[in-house]
């Protein structure tokens, strides 16, 4: 029993030992398990940490990558912006250029429009100015011609006045010749003072116009005729123009040949020169024309023959031409041109001298010899038959030799003016 008890105790001890061993092994295993678990946990934690680190690094990398991407995007955007800005700048530049071009075109068009407007306005203003100039120059020409007619009819030229006074002084005291010259002088003063015609016969209106190129002659004539009509209405001219067929007098001094207007273009002239002469019927009636040779007078085709026929004309005129008179003579030409030139000689001043020495000598001889004939003023006898003689010359045909003589009375009415560009009187010639 004891053995059994011992055996059982041994069995119990062994079993307990086994149990203890099992427990210890269990403990160990549990410990080991715990350790391994801890290790595993540590590993896991380490792995987690590594994973965390990895995730961190990956997240960092991702962040970095994101940042890079964002930077790239920003860079792309910036480049896009730059591109867009550059392109937009280019576009804006192009647009600006286009705008500037458009502005330039607009400016040009506006300039053109302004220029057109300016040209149209300037053309309008110029046309208005031309019209006003035409109106003003037309009015000025009318006023000028009216004044020229008035002055010619009422005021004797200074060179004629001088010679008249010399003739008055030359006549003997208390003679009919002196009496006649005193009446002439008194008439000259009164006509000037009252601005009335020097003679009741205001004569034919002879107008000689010398002008530069470009003068509208028809317009000049029209305005001159209007001035003559108004001068007649004002009493500066007598109603003196009669229709040769009907004998009718319109009372305006206008008709075929009235006024007797002559134009001469001179390209060298810058101004218009107008000479006006009033030649009465009494002195016109004693004008003469001779054809040389003249066997009755013994006048040949030379200057001596010319002298003889001129003196014959003076002798025949006596006092019928309202002497003392002035002669205008033309040697040569035909019958028409000779008479015209003889009248043009009367436009010369009495104190001038002929440029041709032979003609100068002839003029002086004619005056001297005529005043020795004793015809005198108005044919009343005396020392003054002629106040002057002016001789011109024209070419002639071999078959013809005419001497044309125009006689001007003591009322030697001729005046002349120079006009300015506006048709006003610039200066008086005489």
Report pLDDT digits (tens) over 52-105. 555 555 555 655 556 555 565 555 555 555 545 555 555 555 555 555 655 665
C-alpha 57/C-alpha 327 separation (Å) is 141
pTM: 0.71
Q: What is the mean pLDDT of the chain?
A: 84
**Pairing relationship of beta strands 204-211 and 288-291 according to DSSP bridges:** unpaired
Q: Is the pLDDT of residue 35 over 90?
A: no
C-alpha 306/C-alpha 293 separation (Å) is 9
Q: Is the pLDDT of residue 167 over 80?
A: yes
Give 95-152 pLDDT, tens digit per residue: 555 556 556 655 566 655 655 555 555 665 666 565 555 668 999 999 999 999 999 9
The pLDDT value recorded for residue 136 is: 85
Half-sphere exposure (Cβ direction) of 149: Cα atoms closer than 13 Å: 30
Q: Could you report how far apart the first and last alpha carbons of the chain are, in Å?
A: 203
Q: How far is CA 207 from its chain centroid? A: 29
Q: Is the pLDDT of residue 398 over 60?
A: yes
C-alpha 326/C-alpha 321 separation (Å) is 10
The pLDDT value recorded for residue 133 is: 58
Give 2-24 pLDDT, tens digit per residue: 444 444 444 444 555 555 555 55
The pLDDT value recorded for residue 5 is: 41
The pLDDT value recorded for residue 182 is: 97
Give 282-312 pLDDT, tens digit per residue: 999 999 999 999 999 999 999 999 999 999 9
Mean pLDDT along residues 251-279: 96
Mean pLDDT along residues 14-35: 53
Mean pLDDT along residues 166-181: 96
The pLDDT value recorded for residue 287 is: 97
Q: Is 373 buried (19+), middle (13-18) or exposed (0-12) by CB count in 10 A?
A: middle
The pLDDT value recorded for residue 347 is: 98
Could you tell me the two tokens for 240?
């003196």
Are the C-beta atoms of residues 420 and 426 closer than 8 Å to each other? yes
């Amino acid at each position: 029993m004891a053995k059994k008890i011992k055996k059982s105790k041994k069995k119990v001890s062994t079993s307990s030992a086994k149990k203890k061993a099992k427990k210890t092994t269990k403990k160990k295993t549990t410990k080991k398990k715990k350790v391994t678990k801890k290790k595993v946990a540590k590993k896991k934690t380490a792995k987690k940490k590594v994973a965390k680190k990895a995730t961190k690094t990956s997240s960092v990398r991702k962040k970095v990558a994101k940042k890079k991407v964002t930077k790239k995007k920003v860079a792309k955007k910036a480049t896009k912006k730059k591109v867009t800005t550059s392109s937009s700048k280019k576009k804006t530049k192009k647009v600006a250029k286009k705008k500037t071009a458009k502005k330039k075109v607009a400016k040009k068009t506006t300039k053109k429009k302004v220029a057109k407007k300016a040209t149209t306005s300037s053309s309008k203003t110029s046309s208005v100015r031309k019209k006003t100039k035409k109106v003003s120059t037309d009015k000025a020409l009318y006023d000028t011609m009216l004044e020229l007619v008035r002055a010619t009819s009422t005021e004797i030229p200074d060179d004629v006045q001088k010679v008249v006074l010399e003739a008055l002084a030359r006549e003997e005291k208390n003679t009919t010749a002196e009496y006649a010259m005193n009446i002439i002088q008194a008439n000259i003063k009164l006509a000037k003072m009252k601005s009335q015609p020097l003679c009741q016969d205001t004569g034919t209106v002879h107008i000689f116009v010398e002008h530069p190129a470009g003068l509208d002659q028809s317009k000049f004539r029209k305005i001159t005729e209007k001035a003559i009509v108004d001068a007649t209405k004002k009493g500066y001219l007598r109603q003196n123009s009669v229709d040769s067929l009907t004998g009718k007098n319109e009372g305006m001094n206008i008709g075929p040949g009235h006024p007797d207007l002559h134009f001469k273009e001179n390209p060298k002239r810058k101004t218009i020169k107008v000479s006006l002469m009033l030649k009465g019927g009494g002195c016109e009636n004693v004008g003469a024309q001779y054809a040389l040779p003249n066997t009755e007078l013994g006048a040949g085709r030379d200057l001596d023959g010319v002298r003889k026929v001129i003196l014959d004309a003076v002798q025949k005129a006596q006092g019928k031409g309202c002497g003392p008179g002035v002669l205008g003579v033309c040697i040569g030409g035909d019958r028409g041109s000779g008479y015209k030139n003889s009248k043009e000689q009367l436009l010369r001043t009495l104190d001038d001298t002929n440029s041709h020495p032979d003609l100068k000598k002839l003029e002086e001889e004619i005056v001297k010899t005529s005043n020795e004939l004793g015809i005198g003023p108005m044919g009343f006898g005396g020392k003054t038959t002629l106040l002057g003689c002016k001789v011109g010359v024209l070419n002639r045909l071999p078959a013809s030799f005419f001497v044309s003589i125009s006689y001007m009375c003591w009322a030697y009415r001729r005046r002349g003016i120079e006009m300015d560009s506006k048709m006003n009187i610039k200066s008086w010639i005489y």
